[in-house]
């Protein structure tokens, strides 16, 4: 982990989560449908689960937990289909530092319904814990 607990900000927490997802992404085969250890995926949601697996344990030594399992509750109303067939789904959760909100986390999950692999690694954005704009679709 690259930051010191006294330097925890929404941005630093978001960067750490993004770095973890990228690290996990590097464990996927070039096809994106399996890991280098042989785990195969049957749909894109399995890949998101794989990417997020172990994140809570990674951040626990810093005293960081989540109000909902990362990447957050599935909210189907947040899925947008782009003209090229790619879908973008937003997952929201709150990161807590020793039980106190430190960041609202939005994870953009990019996927297509006609393929298993992800077109790009999920994008993590972190906001101040008291900032609510965006979660309701604004």
23 is in which domain, residue-wise? 5-127
Contact 87, 76 (CB under 8 A): no
| Domain assignment present for 100 | yes
Alpha-carbon distance 24 to 54, whole Å? Answer: 10
Q: Considering its fold, how many domains does the chain have in total?
A: 1
Residue 75 tokens, joined? 């909210």
| Domain assignment present for 80 | yes
| Domain assignment present for 36 | yes
For 136, phi then psi, to 5°, come to -90, 15
Q: What is the pLDDT along the chain (138 residues), one digit of tens a residue?
A: 454 445 899 999 999 999 999 999 999 999 999 999 999 999 999 999 999 999 999 999 999 999 988 988 766 557 888 888 899 999 999 999 999 999 999 999 999 989 999 999 999 999 999 876 555 544
| Domain assignment present for 133 | no
In 3D, which of 129, 122, 57 has the Cα closest to residue 93?
129
Q: 13-47, pLDDT tens digit by residue?
A: 999 999 999 999 999 999 999 999 999 999 999 99
| Domain assignment present for 134 | no
| Domain assignment present for 132 | no
| Domain assignment present for 33 | yes
Residue 132: what pLDDT?
66
Alpha-carbon distance 128 to 138, whole Å? Answer: 16
| Domain assignment present for 111 | yes
The DSSP H or E segment spanning 56 is: helix 55-59
Residue 135: what pLDDT?
55
Place of tokens 């814990």: 129
């Amino acid at each position: 982990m690259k930051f010191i607990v006294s330097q925890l900000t929404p941005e630093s927490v978001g960067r750490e989560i993004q770095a973890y997802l990228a690290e996990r992404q590097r464990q996927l085969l070039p096809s994106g449908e399996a890991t280098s250890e042989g785990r195969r995926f049957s749909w894109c949601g399995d890949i998101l689960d794989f990417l997020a697996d172990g994140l809570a344990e990674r951040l626990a030594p810093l005293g960081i937990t989540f109000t909902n399992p990362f990447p957050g509750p599935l909210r189907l109303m947040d899925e947008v289909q782009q003209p090229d067939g790619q879908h973008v789904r937003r997952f929201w959760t709150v990161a807590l530092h020793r039980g106190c909100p430190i960041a609202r986390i939005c994870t953009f999950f990019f996927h297509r319904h006609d393929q298993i692999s992800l077109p790009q690694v999920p994008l993590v954005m972190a906001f101040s814990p008291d900032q609510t704009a965006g979660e309701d679709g604004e």
